[in-house]
Chains A and B, each alone.
Chain A
């Protein structure tokens, strides 16, 4: 696909003005640097659980972590260890950046965190612990391990109101987070962003990798004689700002992020491409964005996990980038110091490189006796050496074939900015799998007719023995929907995700040989992920123990493998990422894709896929916490915006939206369904009254409209969530009421039809809005009888009309808000 070139402009320069570290070799940047200089690693005997009957005893834990020194007793009890580490690192970064997060300033400060495993909850206790739904305390603790809950804890603690995102690309999570933070700053969505990652040392993670046989029996030796990975824990955080803003504020500048590259291997869900091809492309993309040549790089901080597959493939990737063996700079792995810190790995390793650059040293790979076969570069064995690092690459790779590379270096005042070619972006493909229909036409018909897929179920045990309702997909036949997709080794959620992805590609006319592999990316939105397989993992672990745990369930515990399955199934090798959030996941993923795509002319399109599966684990937890509507109260339906909305009706399904740069869409004659013209992201972190009033949700809406150049009076259509829970629906209604000021703009919701499919619900709204724009229809709210407030809800019959500009809004229970504007192709952008 070749498109007419978009005129580039100067890219904003993004600098690092604050650094925070909390890890096994230091709980401050100074301690970290001292450990690096001294060659002092943090790997030792595992203390947080018993490994005496197993054959891996080493890990890198933060041994002196004492929550009481930093948190109140109630905070310490409520905050997961992962969140605690994240908050401590974030506080340091903000302090060093001298960033004011109070008052109105907080509106312009955002956060993007990379979390791989999520919180660890009670998992480090014995396997004889009761199941999560056993009592309310256990249920709350388990829900508190959600990836996005860790990010939310930092937001709440610091009082941030800007954009908030949780990226989970496994071992590349925080590298991906830094990349996305740069995009948000480039787009002016914030003035400063806290970007980083965290993960606590987790028994589940240990068990999973132990089952895979991937762990080293001694402290790891990346590229060296000891094969295998050693796990660690920690958090890292940096404050990123546009250079102009930083110079105006005057903090110290630690360094500059020059470029970011990401790719998908599309090869295997756990093993990297054997030639390191995907990592090579990510490194080259980072260099290209930074307008650098390989010869400009003085150092590579490798992903360097110590596994045979990674280290060999990464060595080949580095050789392929630098081509001439004499030109390959020193390469070292910081994981030799603090183990593999999963969500924190990317940012910690980036910080190591940054600090060493300022110090005039090259960090070593310790525990290195001799190189292993296939690894023959200069890995800076055991001792830091003097050397100038003006510019470096920091590599990360992950399950699912994710590769994320940062190009960065010392701040040079007169460096020329690299170019960015920003294009408009539209929707050229869409597909839906839901309880009402597994086709777009079927979905539209169900919306039109007010049909719902919600029914009373007795599949899961409940606390009170009464039945609940859910919107489940019946009669799902992947072979009929996409005959050429081999789903035999996929679990249910991955089947949904891969099938809907293929259908959207087909809808866009990009299936099969017409798909440009390197130039199409994938971003997946999840809330709970493949729950059935996760249940099997937990059950298998409880019944067999670590030593006999089957490895086949573990990949489902890693969110990025869903994107990996999609990439592999459809041979998509461009940018790849995964967003995890509550009911905002789908919208956040879509907006992440929008921002990445419009700034990157190395991509033609990004496929956004959200998927949900209803399984026993979370159904029982939600039920235990009283979050579900019972059959007696609300038999078989969600009641969006009902004044007495009492609870959730879970739904399952998947939605895929293909976003495409308009220049490319026009060049290949694609049908453009709608254009995404503006968006806003905010966080609620104020007092209860402020949150209840939806102040920040309203601000997100106004930001979206402002970017789209659309005043509220010009809106034709609005889709909210309306999940049937009074306090959350009330927040939407209040925000919309203030925005619309009594204007009778039609307001709809698709959740009455498809239930609350947490990750997908925002994209179901996008699908409804897009269909409405295309077909001139506003769909009635299914199950609507009593509705709160005075909004002009769409009730009864479908309302034909001309709908050229639609607002889609959504937020999570914790107040992570998103709003976006879709416009018809003739309404366009201002």
Chain B
């Protein structure tokens, strides 16, 4: 692996990449805003190599995947994906996973738990499912992400115009980037156009170089996890290591539609069913805080949310939104208080901030206004 590439590795969701963590601290001041602007107005490049990548093959692949994940993947069309979770037995979130139907099996792209942990979990479950084979391709596969309102323009230049028709959560196989076979996943969690590019690890450097080279006219630059996490929060994608880790039960994350009551047994089912029966006690909701500057101290994770002095919830994730010019947060609130349009207090009495509950998402994405035939970063219509 080249030095240039290794220095650009972002911190993985499992947090075990010290190179990325150091790189992130060094980039924090100033660079966070710059990376954020790239993701919101240009194109940013990230390395997702630390995501777990597992193929589940064989005639019983569907059965195994359905035992492991929350959603019912039998409904996923071929060459499409869905986003779901792998739960703990107590109904809390172990990790997030995208499940892609490849036609002859499934691919799980996991985030939030270490690949080794997921590999162990899958191997364990596979013992009870003859006819299903799990292949850990984490180390053999490089995964890069290109995100931003003009990401499509860069990708189109690399693989051809047809990619413009790829819909969100679609899998586009048999692509080629600089002569390297690639699979492209129309995905991303920034709310802008996003494309995950998977290549074999032996082609990782070449592909990375090709992306940087093709991205030069687009001012393509690297983006760290803090910038992508901020975009994720603004668009209310679940951050599995923040609010995901703090959810007592997955249903608190407002993903009831992911739950299938008739798909059979899966990890954490009993706990999920129990909550459905008795009802939720708290749920996640978004909050905008008082206007301030990026350098202001943010409420702590776990800070209390209160109403007339009574604690009604806790902050699960918080960041400063450059687009809104104020901090934003998500918090688990008691269900009786978890409604949009209400004013609460966040933080301890000595550092209290007014906050208002809001619906999702926090921002309106530039990508929503893009028309492929008329928009172009190269024509500088973003200026």
A interface vs B, CB < 8 Å? 265, 267, 273-277, 308, 311-313, 315-316, 320, 372-375, 479, 483-486, 511-514, 569, 571
Contacts and interface: CB of A to CB of B under 8 A. Distances in A.
Contact of A571 (B79, B101, B164, B371): B79
B103 A275 contact: no
Given A275-B162, A277-B165, A513-B103, A484 B372 contact: no
A267 B170 CA distance: 12
Given A274-B164, A373-B373, 16 more contacts: A265-B165, A267-B165, A274-B165, A275-B156, A275-B164, A277-B161, A277-B165, A313-B373, A316-B161, A479-B75, A484-B74, A486-B77, A512-B78, A513-B78, A513-B103, A569-B77
B374 interface: yes
6 contacts: A265-B165, A273-B165, A275-B165, A372-B374, A483-B74, A486-B77
How many interface residues does chain B have, given as a range?
A: 10 to 19
A312 B371 contact: yes
B340 interface: no
Interface string B71-89: 0001111110000000000
Contacts of A373: 373-374
Contacts of A375: 373
Contacts of A277: 161-162, 164-165
B373 A484 contact: no
Nearest to A280: B161
B162 A484 contact: no
Given A484-B74, A486-B75, A513-B103, A315 B373 contact: yes
Interface in B97-135: 101-104
Contacts of A374: 371, 373-374
Nearest to B379: A373
Given A274-B165, A277-B162, A312 B374 contact: yes
A277 B163 CA distance: 10
A403 B102 CA distance: 29
Interface in B161-175: 161-162, 164-165
Contact of A483 (B75, B102, B162): B75
A316 B373 contact: yes
Contacts of B77: 484-486, 569
A514 B103 CA distance: 8
A384 to B, nearest CB: 27
Contacts of A311: 373
Nearest to A484: B77
Contacts of A511: 78
A820 to B, nearest CB: 33
Interface of B: 74-79, 101-104, 156, 161-162, 164-165, 371-374
Contact of A274 (B75, B76, B372): B372
B374 A512 contact: no
Given A273-B164, A514-B103, A312 B373 contact: yes
A479 B79 CA distance: 18
Given A274-B372, A313-B373, A315-B373, A484 B76 contact: yes
6 closest Cβ contacts across the A-B interface? A312-B373, A513-B103, A275-B161, A374-B373, A512-B78, A373-B374
A513 B161 contact: no
Contacts of B164: 273-275, 277
A530 B284 CA distance: 42
B79 A513 contact: yes
* Contact residues of B: prevailing secondary structure: loop
A304 to B, nearest CB: 14
Contacts of B78: 484, 511-513
Nearest to B101: A484
A109 to B, nearest CB: 42
A571 B162 CA distance: 13
Nearest to A275: B161
A784 B164 CA distance: 57
Nearest to A313: B373
B139 to A, nearest CB: 25
A511 B74 CA distance: 15
A569 B162 CA distance: 18
A484 B75 contact: yes
Nearest to B80: A484
A513 B75 contact: no
A512 B164 CA distance: 21
A484 B75 CA distance: 4
B76 A312 contact: no
Contacts of B102: 513
A311 B165 CA distance: 16
Contacts of A485: 77
Contacts of B104: 513
B187 to A, nearest CB: 18
B378 to A, nearest CB: 13
A462 B260 CA distance: 42
A485 B101 CA distance: 13
A499 to B, nearest CB: 13
A512 B161 CA distance: 23
A498 to B, nearest CB: 11
A711 B52 CA distance: 66
A308 B371 contact: yes
A320 B162 CA distance: 11
A320 B165 CA distance: 15
A311 B372 CA distance: 12
A315 B373 CA distance: 9
A276 B161 CA distance: 9
A275 B77 CA distance: 23
Contacts of B156: 275
A432 to B, nearest CB: 23
A275 B372 contact: yes
A483 B77 CA distance: 8
A227 to B, nearest CB: 11
B84 to A, nearest CB: 16
A277 B156 CA distance: 12
Contacts of A372: 374
Residue from the set B77, B164, B373 with the largest chain A CB neighbour count within 10 Å = B373
Nearest to B152: A274
B95 to A, nearest CB: 24
A571 B77 CA distance: 11
Nearest to A483: B74
A483 B72 CA distance: 10
Contacts of A479: 75
Contacts of A267: 165
A513 B75 CA distance: 16
A485 to B, nearest CB: 7
A316 B78 CA distance: 28
Nearest to A319: B161
A728 B78 CA distance: 46
Given A484-B74, A484-B77, A514-B103, A320 B371 contact: no
A571 B151 CA distance: 24
Nearest to A514: B103
A374 B75 CA distance: 38
B74 to A, nearest CB: 4
A311 B374 CA distance: 11
Contacts of A514: 103
Contacts of B371: 308, 312, 374
Contacts of B374: 308, 312, 372-374
Contact of A312 (B74, B103, B162, B372): B372
Contacts of B76: 484
Nearest to B78: A512
Given A484-B75, A571-B79, A512 B103 contact: yes
Contacts of A484: 74-78, 101
Contacts of B74: 483-484
Residue from the set B76, B79, B165, B371 with the largest chain A CB neighbour count within 10 Å = B165
A84 to B, nearest CB: 39
A486 B170 CA distance: 14
A316 B371 CA distance: 13
A416 B371 CA distance: 44
A52 B216 CA distance: 54
A479 B77 CA distance: 12
